[in-house]
Structure 1
Amino acid sequence: MKYLVTGNAGFIGFHVAKALISRGDSVVGVDNVNDYYDTSLKEDRLQALEQIASRQGGDVEYEFVRANIADKTAIDDCFQRHDFDRVIHLAAQAGVRHSIEHPEAYVESNLIGFFNLLEACRHAKTPHLSYASTSSVYGGNTSMPFSEDHGADHPLQFYAATKRANELMAHSYSHLFQLPTTGLRFFTVYGPWGRPDMALFKFTRLILEGKPIPVFNHGHHSRDFTYIDDIVEGVIKSSDQIASADPDWSSAAPTPATSNAPYRVFNIGNGNPAQLSAYIDALEEALGKKAVREMLPMQPGDIPDTHADTRKLQQAIGYRPDTSVREGVQKFVEWYRDYYSV
């Protein structure tokens, strides 16, 4: 199998590409390695992928294309040179707070970039396009756990709005051109090689430096923290299983997660949310050091709680995450200490 993995210098994209290469698939990665956060971490991920591929010998093809997905010429060239069995689109401008200050970056990457991928897949007749969405699309919803059958039309930040737009764009291409698409709504992914702008990474650095950590909403947030290995399993298995039309879908009583087109949307989370305060407790235990907690009010655009209903993904691919927060945080801390020689 040959996969295109966009965003392979990023956190989730790196781990997905790593898993595919390790199991013997060929991978072409596309990433512009932007400076949203420390590019040296991204470059080290890319170097790690090169090393993993080289250990596979000549049986696995790995190519990295340094390009912006908003560059249509670069994307079209990539599709002209390769015939992909699957496309896993994980490149995006992430970050809730950043979308408030720099919305234009989200238009370029999340809207124009996604459009370029849809067009390329359409013309190449790609067998299956999987792409990253987010739990943030549930926005103003308060009914828990979040289900794909719930509406997702009240996003609280522009980042979430662009991701919801991706789902709608994907459906139109699935309907018009019979392009099979699967959207994956990620729930608070964490683990080794994670993003420095995420809470676990920031908290670890600040605690080790003896500095206060900002605890928003006074620690009363609950999040469906999902370990990276569980996410990767769900991404690859759902990509391997090509989306198809739902024979039970009714236009008279339409459900939002499927369609009479080859389209579907899945939650991909742990299904067992934890309070932010408990997450910090697990981090303190892993580090062997107490945090100085600076209690603060909720930030603009934040969602108080997230909880994934993952039954649809379980039924489709047998998805059953099994990494506890305590175990996952411990693995992250071990990686952090090794990577930064702390």
Structure 2
Amino acid sequence: MRILVTGNAGFIGYHVARRLLERGDSVIGFDVVNDYYDPALKEARLKRLDETASTSSGDYQFVRANLADRDAVDSCFAAHTPDRVIHLAAQAGVRYSIENPHAYVESNIVAYTNILEACRHAGVGHLTYASTSSVYGANTDMPFSEHRPADHPLQFYAATKRANELMAHAYSHLYRLPTTGLRFFTVYGPWGRPDMALFLFARKILAGEPITLFNHGNHTRDFTFVDDIVEGVIRASDQPAEPNADWDSANPDPATSNAPWRLFNIGNNNPVKLTDYVAALEEALGRKAIVELLPLQPGDVPDTFADTSALETAVGYRPATSTQTGVRAFVDWYLAHYENVPA
């Protein structure tokens, strides 16, 4: 299977590409390797992918280009003819979307349109793409379910990812392109992004600096370990979306669709209070945090909780890594990778 993985220099994309190579797939990576955060970390991930490819039976090729460049995307599809696409490249970050919304238009709207167009012209068998739990926005009906509305995002990042879901449906309907959107819930783990909470907290605790907990630490999050996300992504990609078998063309229900399109939550199905997450990090580091409590930030969602029953029914998988296990794995990687951090 030839699988194009966009954003393979990024956190989740790196882990997905590596797992595919380890099982023997041919992987085409596509990433611009920008400087949204330290490019050295992205280059280190790419080096690890080269090392994995050298010992695996799968072929690996890397395209360093911008997905917003339509010609670059079309050339990649023409040269490599992927069977499937796993689209994980995006401009992430809730707070940064308030500062720089134009970056989200380029990376999450223009680039995504280029992927959709390339997939439909190339006859790709299945497009699996990343969405986010942030699309639930002002919804307070827990646990979050894919069957409930997600029409009131609280920041522009979430709005662009919700747009991706709707754009995918249009292409699935018009061109019968099978698409699967995956709403990730607070992913963390080794090789994570430096702007993520766990990364920031670890660095500051080790340096003896205070960490900031917004909403006075009362957030709850469905923290999901990256290995669980990867397993869900690959299982979903391996089972292409199909038209709704229960669709009645004679009496169509306007609330449903016959397109080969679907959405799944991927979360741990176990919300954890932010202060408990910090406690797990303190235990793993053997250090106490200096905590500064502040009010809720604009755009923040107070709580997230994933209903993962649809994912479990469709692909036979449910994330289950505990916070303590996942945080310990992150700390082990962090201390090994950043040898110059304070002891």
With the shorter chain as reference, the TM-score category is over 0.9
Amino acid at match of 1:211: E
1:302 is matched with which residue? 300
Deviation at 1:247, TM superposition (A): 1.8
2:245 is matched with which residue? 247
1:130-141 map, 5 Å? 130-141=128-139
Listed one character per residue, the Cα deviations across residues 29-83 of structure 1 (whole Å, up to 9, x for unaligned) are 0000111101100000000000000112xx3210110011000000000000112
CA distance in 1, matches of 2:182, 2:89: 13
1:282 is matched with which residue? 280
**Is 1:178–2:181 an aligned residue pair?**
no
2:6 is matched with which residue? 6
CA distance in 1, matches of 2:278, 2:58: 40
CA distance in 2, matches of 1:171, 1:60: 32
CA distance in 1, matches of 2:318, 2:163: 28
Matched positions, count: 337
1:233 is matched with which residue? 231
CA distance in 1, matches of 2:167, 2:79: 25
Amino acid at match of 1:156: L
Deviation at 1:248, TM superposition (A): 2.3
Amino acid at match of 1:43: E
CA distance in 1, matches of 2:254, 2:38: 47
1:263 is matched with which residue? 261
**Is 1:189–2:187 an aligned residue pair?**
yes
Deviation at 1:253, TM superposition (A): 5.2
Unpaired segments ≥5 residues, structure 1: none
**Is 1:94–2:92 an aligned residue pair?**
yes
Secondary structure of 2:16's aligned partner: helix
CA distance in 1, matches of 2:204, 2:281: 12
1:220 is matched with which residue? 218
1:315 is matched with which residue? 313
Q: Is residue 27–residue 59 contact of structure 2 (8 Å, CA) maintained in 1?
A: yes
Secondary structure of 2:180's aligned partner: strand
Runs of 4 or more consecutive aligned structure 1 residues displaced over 3 Å after TM superposition: none
If the length of structure 2 is used for normalisation, what is the TM-score?
Answer: 0.97
Q: Is residue 266–residue 319 contact of structure 2 (8 Å, CA) maintained in 1?
A: no
Amino acid at match of 2:269: G
Q: Is residue 131–residue 182 contact of structure 2 (8 Å, CA) maintained in 1?
A: yes
- Paired-residue identity, %: 68
CA distance in 2, matches of 1:253, 1:29: 38
Q: Is residue 7–residue 88 contact of structure 2 (8 Å, CA) maintained in 1?
A: yes
Listed one character per residue, the Cα deviations across residues 135-180 of structure 1 (whole Å, up to 9, x for unaligned) are 0000010000000001010000000000000000000000000000
CA distance in 2, matches of 1:247, 1:18: 34
Deviation at 1:249, TM superposition (A): 4.3
Secondary structure of 2:200's aligned partner: helix
1:39 is matched with which residue? 39
CA distance in 1, matches of 2:38, 2:76: 26
Secondary structure of 2:125's aligned partner: coil
1:24 is matched with which residue? 24
Secondary structure of 1:279's aligned partner: helix
1:203-214 map, 5 Å? 203-214=201-212
CA distance in 1, matches of 2:286, 2:225: 21
2:162 is matched with which residue? 164
Q: Is residue 134–residue 301 contact of structure 2 (8 Å, CA) maintained in 1?
A: yes
Q: Is residue 132–residue 184 contact of structure 2 (8 Å, CA) maintained in 1?
A: yes
1:44-83 map, 5 Å? 44-56=44-56, 59-83=57-81
Moved more, 246-255 or 267-276: 246-255
Deviation at 1:240, TM superposition (A): 0.4
Amino acid at match of 2:280: A
Unpaired segments ≥5 residues, structure 2: none
CA distance in 2, matches of 1:244, 1:322: 27
CA distance in 2, matches of 1:108, 1:322: 35
1:155 is matched with which residue? 153
Amino acid at match of 2:202: T
Secondary structure of 1:266's aligned partner: strand
Q: Is residue 23–residue 58 contact of structure 2 (8 Å, CA) maintained in 1?
A: no
Deviation at 1:252, TM superposition (A): 2.6
Secondary structure of 1:294's aligned partner: strand
